[in-house]
């Protein structure tokens, strides 16, 4: 064990052990990994009393430190949350294993048989905040995709995270998985985060899971690749051809089903030729949403709160929406290109040609036609779970689950071919 | 036009114009992009006298500055090289267009139709050294994949690059492609490279093409994602079950066909149980290769030059090979795990079980069975061309061509679905 007081040495040592574990995990057949996750799920259920006791210590310390109610809620575990966490781990065990999957194959004229085969990425660092369930969620996804994980949770959840990680380790050990498959950084020293972000060669990918300031710090400092989730300034564009009832239902759901998630609509764009713009604004207001817009708009100006320029670039994550009238799909796409964050944008339209244009041309990780932006979620996309929603352009975009935690290699089978 | 004396402002301005061009390129149908490349190829052929005149200026300046013969050879263009460059651009026009390709699709239980569709990455920066043909090669690949390119070539090729870029621009303009689809950085100030590497948000991906020091600088400084090609410390492992004649042919070809390319073998690993290790060493020596190994090895010790510890970690890129005897495939894989660079490694074996184990467990971008490592090449892999060979783990690995210059988005088609 390296000196925990020297974060660089600590992370380097954890990285070396993770690399050895990753090599072993990469070779494990699906059933062995699944058995490990099932054992970990059972261990989590068995350890529920210990996990809840550890969580109570974190909660007491958090309350004493004056953490906000929202933060304490994220930190809080109860029997149902521990059971749901265990169920989540077991559910990952049932997902299709991407490792070993052939992406494509070809036969070259010289007889060389080429294929691209999915392989694990290697060592994945997860940096997260107060939710202790991430310890189990992230570990399960990493391991099922054949990767070793180095987890660094928030200091306020230190006892909870340790108890959960201990249960996972017990389950993995019982099923014969490598002991270092999942390692929890044993210090809450913030310098350990810096050491992870600088660990080129030791950590292959860092996934930050948390609020904007965490993600921003990770992106600013990282020397290792980052799978990041930035803002979700998401738009719903209601075309003149939209069915008014469908538009109303989608707009209200996209904004108000849950206002704090990254898939929530922040800006409503209404075609000037749409028949019932007032209905959409009033539907939002009736659902409890504050609606901000241009007071000089003839149709909706009198019922909205005046918007200022910053509103079009704001991710409210709250019961607030901005609304703008635009000139058709061209106007909508221009607005989205200028103000969007390339996360999730939707069109409501009956005109298929207009919708297909929107789907083709809007440059976002997720584009939707006649569906709510709140579907931006790995579970809803059939991925079974998600490590996060990626808003970068490379490697993986949108909801990322097991496949996004793999890469590929080229495999060539020949019969003595030499290159001329 | 921004102030060319302020590199940050210059690159920011080029980035803004590239972003607009990229949006237009992303929408262009395949035939329009192909027509643009064909027109660019024609323009290159037509401009050959001007390009050769510009190149003569670079060559004269280079000779006056005392550039090495190897560097001057890389810089030199002649009529045949210009014609080959034009042919290369035309060949890219004939490749399958990845943009718009559906990767996979699914129907969710609620009726939402999901698909993942390939889209361009956006704005790609290419940083290269003295070979002026990269200007055309890289531009063609970027544009065919729907991306705008910002090119920064070596100062010693400045006139050649300008002449080639002017021809490309003329061809693109004649075919109606965006004027800023390909921009050549108009200054050879090294600070422009730094500005490109810092251009987060303006440049989506940087591809360095050149020697180790260039790639190392790009990787050390870059704040934007890099598709990098590092060392190719490639191994050929000859198993006890190998056909001796096949082993000899592959080993000699892997090392000696061209010693200076990244796919060349650097280390030969011979199973202690292989019948004819001396034959392999002598075959290399007869082909003009210096062979370094352990002088204490009973079989080959007397015919090799003593190796030191650094040899196992050295990419010679020359007519030198290191050779080690290992204990079967396990020993070979342990050596590769310790000393390899995850580029290309091959096994020669008749025993399929041993070979499949090597293919599955060796963690390299390319693993080959009974074929020469010199096949590590986009053309040989049927990709038609390559922007480079990626040795990183994310996004793309091995030879990267058009597909590696794209990403994807999720497209959902619904019928009014809202999330419950």
Under DSSP, is residue B366 helix (H, G, I), strand (E, B) or coil?
strand
Placement of tokens 């490309």 in the chain: B168
How is residue B327 written in tokens? 């204990």
pLDDT at residue A3, as a whole number: 60
The sheet carrying B102-107 orders its strands as A305-306, A290-293, A320-326, A265-271, A234-238, A344-348, A366-371, B406-417, B113-120, B102-107
**Residue of chain A nearest B110, judged by CA positions:** A380
pLDDT mean over B316-324: 97
pLDDT at residue B189, as a whole number: 86
Q: Are strands A398-400 and A388-390 parallel, antiparallel or unpaired?
A: antiparallel
Q: Give the residue among A16, A18, A5, A2 at the shortest CA–CA distance from A188.
A: A5
pLDDT mean over A217-244: 93
| Dist. CA B167–CA B45, nearest whole Å | 9
The mean of the pLDDT values for chain B is 95
How is residue B230 written in tokens? 């590092």
Query: Each residue of A285-301: pLDDT tens digit?
Result: 999 999 999 999 999 99
What letter would DSSP give residue A45? H
pLDDT mean over A173-195: 94
| Dist. CA B304–CA B323, nearest whole Å | 9
Distances (CA, A) of B3 to B11, B17, B158, B185: 10, 15, 19, 12
pLDDT at residue A75, as a whole number: 95
Q: CA A296 from chain center: how many Å?
A: 39
pLDDT at residue B179, as a whole number: 93
Q: Is A397 on the interface with B (CB under 8 A)?
A: yes
Q: Which residues between 245 and 304 in chain A have a beta carbon less than 8 angstroms from any beta carbon of chain B?
A: 246, 249-250, 252-254, 257
What is the phi/psi pair of residue A202, to 5°?
Answer: -95, -40
CB contacts, 8 Å: A364 with chain B: 409
Contact status, residue B182 vs residue B142, Cβ threshold 8 Å: yes
State the helix-helix crossing angle for B79-93 and B133-144, rounded to 10 degrees.
10
Sequence-ordered list of residues with C-beta below 8 angstroms from that of A418, at least 6 positions apart, any chain: B249, B250, B252, B253, B254, B257, B371, B372, B374
Query: Each residue of B1-35: pLDDT tens digit?
Result: 456 679 999 999 999 999 999 999 999 999 999 99
Q: How many CB pairs under 8 A join A and B?
A: 183
Query: Each residue of B212-228: pLDDT tens digit?
Result: 889 989 988 999 999 98
pLDDT at residue A4, as a whole number: 60
Query: Each residue of A255-278: pLDDT tens digit?
Result: 999 999 999 999 999 999 999 999
Query: pTM to 2 decimals?
Result: 0.94
Query: Each residue of B359-388: pLDDT tens digit?
Result: 999 999 999 999 999 999 999 999 988 898
State the helix-helix crossing angle for B244-256 and B277-286, rounded to 10 degrees.
40
pLDDT at residue B165, as a whole number: 97
pLDDT at residue B384, as a whole number: 86
pLDDT mean over A224-233: 89
pLDDT mean over A365-386: 94
pLDDT at residue A52, as a whole number: 98
Query: Each residue of B36-90: pLDDT tens digit?
Result: 999 999 999 999 999 999 999 999 999 999 999 988 999 999 999 999 999 999 9
Give the minimum alpha-carbon distance from B344 to chain A in angstroms, rounded to a whole number.
9
pLDDT mean over B238-264: 97
| Dist. CA B198–CA A42, nearest whole Å | 48
pLDDT mean over A182-206: 94
Contact flag A246-B371 (C-beta cutoff 8 Å): no
CB contacts, 8 Å: A27 with chain B: 360-361
Under DSSP, is residue B78 helix (H, G, I), strand (E, B) or coil?
coil
A5 pLDDT tier (thresholds 50, 70, 90): confident
pLDDT at residue B303, as a whole number: 97
What letter would DSSP give residue B307? P
pLDDT of B149 higher than 80: yes
Query: Each residue of B337-357: pLDDT tens digit?
Result: 999 999 999 999 999 999 999
Neighbours of A57 (CB within 10 A): 13
What is the phi/psi pair of residue B320, to 5°?
Answer: -135, 140
Q: Give the residue among B350, B125, B377, B339 at the shortest CA–CA distance from B235.
A: B339
- What is the Cα gyration radius of chain B? 24
Sequence-ordered list of residues with C-beta below 8 angstroms from that of B408, at least 6 positions apart, any chain: A397, B103, B116, B117, B118, B119
pLDDT at residue A2, as a whole number: 54
Give the minimum alpha-carbon distance from B387 to chain A in angstroms, rounded to a whole number.
16
CB contacts, 8 Å: A399 with chain B: 410
| Dist. CA B348–CA A214, nearest whole Å | 49
Give the minimum alpha-carbon distance from A246 to chain B in angstroms, rounded to a whole number.
6
pLDDT of A8 higher than 90: yes
Contact status, residue A185 vs residue A14, Cβ threshold 8 Å: yes
Contact status, residue A247 vs residue A280, Cβ threshold 8 Å: yes
Domains plus CATH for chain A?
A: 7-227+400-411 (3.40.605.10), 234-375 (3.40.309.10)
DSSP E strands in A52-162: the ranges are: 102-107, 113-120, 123-128, 148-152
Q: CA B318 from chain center: how many Å?
A: 19
CB contacts, 8 Å: A407 with chain B: 393-394, 397
CB contacts, 8 Å: B393 with chain A: 121-122, 204-205, 407
Sequence-ordered list of residues with C-beta below 8 angstroms from that of A279, at least 6 positions apart, any chain: A244, A248
pLDDT at residue B211, as a whole number: 84
What is the phi/psi pair of residue A347, to 5°?
Answer: -120, 140
What share of chain A in percent tops pLDDT 90? 91
Distances (CA, A) of A303 to A248, A283, A315: 17, 12, 22
Contact flag A415-B119 (C-beta cutoff 8 Å): no
Contact status, residue B142 vs residue B405, Cβ threshold 8 Å: yes
How is residue B250 written in tokens? 């592959």
pLDDT of A1 higher than 60: no
Contact flag B375-A411 (C-beta cutoff 8 Å): no
Query: Each residue of B258-272: pLDDT tens digit?
Result: 999 999 999 999 999
| Dist. CA A147–CA A165, nearest whole Å | 16
Strand partners, A135: none
pLDDT mean over B294-305: 95
- What is the Cα gyration radius of chain A? 24
Of A225, A375, A412, the CB nearest to B368: A412
């Amino acid at each position: 064990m390296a000196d925990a007081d020297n974060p660089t040495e600590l992370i380097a040592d954890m990285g070396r052990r993770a690399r050895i574990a990753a090599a072993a995990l990469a070779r494990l057949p699906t059933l062995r990994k699944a058995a490990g996750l099932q054992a970990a799920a059972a261990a989590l259920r068995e350890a529920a009393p210990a996990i809840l006791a550890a969580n109570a210590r974190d909660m007491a310390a958090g309350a004493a430190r004056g953490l906000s109610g929202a933060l304490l809620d994220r930190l809080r575990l109860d029997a149902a949350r521990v059971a749901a966490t265990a169920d989540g781990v077991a559910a990952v065990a049932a997902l299709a294993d991407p490792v070993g999957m052939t992406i494509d194959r070809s036969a070259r004229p010289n007889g060389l048989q080429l294929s691209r085969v999915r392989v694990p990425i290697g060592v994945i660092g997860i940096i997260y905040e107060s939710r202790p369930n991430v310890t189990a969620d992230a570990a399960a996804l990493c391991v099922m995709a054949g990767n070793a994980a180095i987890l660094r949770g928030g200091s306020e959840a230190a006892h909870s995270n340790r108890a959960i990680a201990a249960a996972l380790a017990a389950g993995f050990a019982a099923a014969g998985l490598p002991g270092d498959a999942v390692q929890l950084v044993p210090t809450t020293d913030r310098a350990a985060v810096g050491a992870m972000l600088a660990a080129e060669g030791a950590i292959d990918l860092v996934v930050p899971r948390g609020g904007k300031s965490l993600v921003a710090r990770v992106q600013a400092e990282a020397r290792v690749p980052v799978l990041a989730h930035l803002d979700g300034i998401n738009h719903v564009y209601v075309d003149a051809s939209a069915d008014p009832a469908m538009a109303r239902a989608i707009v209200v759901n996209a904004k108000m089903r849950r206002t704090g998630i990254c898939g929530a609509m922040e800006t409503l764009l209404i075609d000037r030729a749409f028949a019932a713009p007032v209905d959409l604004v009033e539907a939002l207001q009736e659902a409890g949403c504050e609606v901000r817009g241009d007071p000089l708009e003839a149709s909706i100006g009198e019922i909205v709160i005046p918007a200022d320029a910053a509103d079009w670039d704001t991710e409210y994550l709250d019961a607030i929406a901005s609304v703008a009238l635009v000139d058709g799909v061209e106007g909508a796409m221009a607005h989205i290109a200028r103000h969007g964050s390339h996360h999730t944008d939707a069109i409501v339209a009956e005109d298929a040609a207009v919708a297909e244009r929107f789907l083709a041309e809007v440059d976002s990780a997720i584009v939707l036609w006649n569906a709510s932006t709140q579907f931006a979620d790995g579970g809803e996309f059939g991925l079974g779970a998600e490590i996060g929603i990626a808003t970068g352009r490379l490697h993986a975009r949108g909801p990322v689950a097991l496949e996004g935690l793999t890469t590929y290699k080229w495999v060539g089978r020949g019969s003595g071919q030499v290159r001329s």
